[in-house]
Amino acid sequence: MFKIAKAKWPELWQALAREGQLYLPALVDGKTDFAPWQKDTKVDLLTAVTAKSLKQLFFAQVEPLMHFQTSGKKVAVTPQELPAQPTIAFGVRACDLAGFTILDKVFLKEPVDTFYRARRENCTLIGLACGFPEETCFCQTFNIDAASPAGDIQTWLVWDNLYWESRTGKGQQLTAKLAALLTEATAEDAKLVQAQQTKIRETLSKLPLGRLRFSPELAKHEQEVFNSKVWEKLSATCLSCCGCTYVCPTCHCYDVRDYAGKDGAVERFRCWDSCMNGDFTKMAHGNPRKGQLERFRQRYMHKLVYFPEDYEGTFACVGCGRCLRICPVNLNIVKVAKELEVDLHV
């Protein structure tokens, strides 16, 4: 384990930026979000949950796929080159790191999403333990340890020192390049980190959702869950604003569109979409999920039933709490899961 004092953090950011495009939590327009580092960036390592997750680093919000050029009856197709720029994501919390693991199950299975894979392989992830969890956090529900965030490198902020530990070969390579900035941690330093880990776990257990658990029985009763009266009750107040899907670390719906420019040029791109949208997966005969109830049900059936069925009981949620904070009518996965468990007696 190594450490670096706060006075040297600006040097650390500069050194990391020399190794690749550096993203870290920063104060932007009054809120903390991940942003590319620049010398005037206001880095914020204290806020536990950024406004949005970092999923756009691998699953871009808007991404060109290919270019078509027509000339008479001829069509030239030029595929978009795969992203190759090295990137470093610093200060990623355990919940968002777990979110990448869930996205991996989707984008890295056959047929592999080559754009996602290229970004994933070219990125070094540096996790940061949550010194001050939010009241809406419930990552421990899914056995995610906020005190040991993982990543290629995991770090802990204790007073004015950042403690640093490599976990993968990629992390060891980056650490070796930073040797001039890092100091070997002592046994006393290790005790400070362990004390902080204990405090984080105790804090999480005392939060309002500290003892929350989702029933694995939901995925075993697909038909009963699908036909539950809970959907009618809860969906009636949903505004279909889609805010919950866009801030969620594990939502991965997208649309593919063509944009026609001048001179017969056409750009094909994909962009984030949401199963809560009325035109999502619209076919020639219309949308198979015509009403708000059906779309609301689809979102939560996927997270609580379909995904666990497909991936050995893994819920498509990491307990970051963003949906609890953003919903204007106080609807979220916790409320839906609890209502279903009561209705089905599981």
pLDDT top residue among 143 and 282: 143
312 backbone dihedrals φ, ψ, rounded to 5°: 50, 45
Looking at the fold, whether 178 and 33 belong to one and the same domain comes out as yes
Looking at the fold, whether 194 and 235 belong to one and the same domain comes out as no
Looking at the fold, whether 164 and 289 belong to one and the same domain comes out as no
Contact indicator for 146, 139 with CB cutoff of 8 Å:
yes
Looking at the fold, whether 167 and 231 belong to one and the same domain comes out as no
Cis peptide before 111 (omega within 30 of 0): yes
pLDDT of residue 262: 75
Looking at the fold, whether 196 and 222 belong to one and the same domain comes out as no
Looking at the fold, whether 226 and 146 belong to one and the same domain comes out as no
Looking at the fold, whether 245 and 306 belong to one and the same domain comes out as yes
CA 106 – CA 97 distance, rounded (Å): 15
* Range of the structural domain that residue 32 is part of: 2-206
CA 305 – CA 223 distance, rounded (Å): 10
What global pTM score does this model have? 0.93
Please tell me the least confidently modeled range out of 67-71, 123-127, 138-142, 304-308.
67-71
pLDDT of residue 90: 98
Helix and strand element counts for the chain (H, E): 12, 12
- The answer to the question of residue 220 being in a domain is yes
pLDDT interval class at 89 (50, 70, 90): very high
Looking at the fold, whether 149 and 240 belong to one and the same domain comes out as no
The domain total for the chain is 2
Please tell me the least confidently modeled range out of 28-32, 62-66, 73-77, 263-267.
263-267
Cα 317 to Cα 17, 151, 227, 307, 333: the distances in Å are 31, 18, 22, 10, 8
Q: Which of 206, 229, 261 finishes a domain?
A: 206
- The answer to the question of residue 211 being in a domain is no
Looking at the fold, whether 22 and 169 belong to one and the same domain comes out as yes
pLDDT of residue 289: 75
Q: Which of 185, 206, 227 finishes a domain?
A: 206
pLDDT interval class at 283 (50, 70, 90): low
- The answer to the question of residue 102 being in a domain is yes
CA 14 – CA 154 distance, rounded (Å): 19
| 82: DSSP letter | P
Looking at the fold, whether 202 and 66 belong to one and the same domain comes out as yes
- The answer to the question of residue 239 being in a domain is yes
CA 343 – CA 112 distance, rounded (Å): 38
Q: Which of 187, 206, 225 finishes a domain?
A: 206
Contact indicator for 176, 247 with CB cutoff of 8 Å:
no
Mean pLDDT within 302-326: 96
In the chain, what percentage of residues exceed pLDDT 90? 89
Looking at the fold, whether 189 and 273 belong to one and the same domain comes out as no
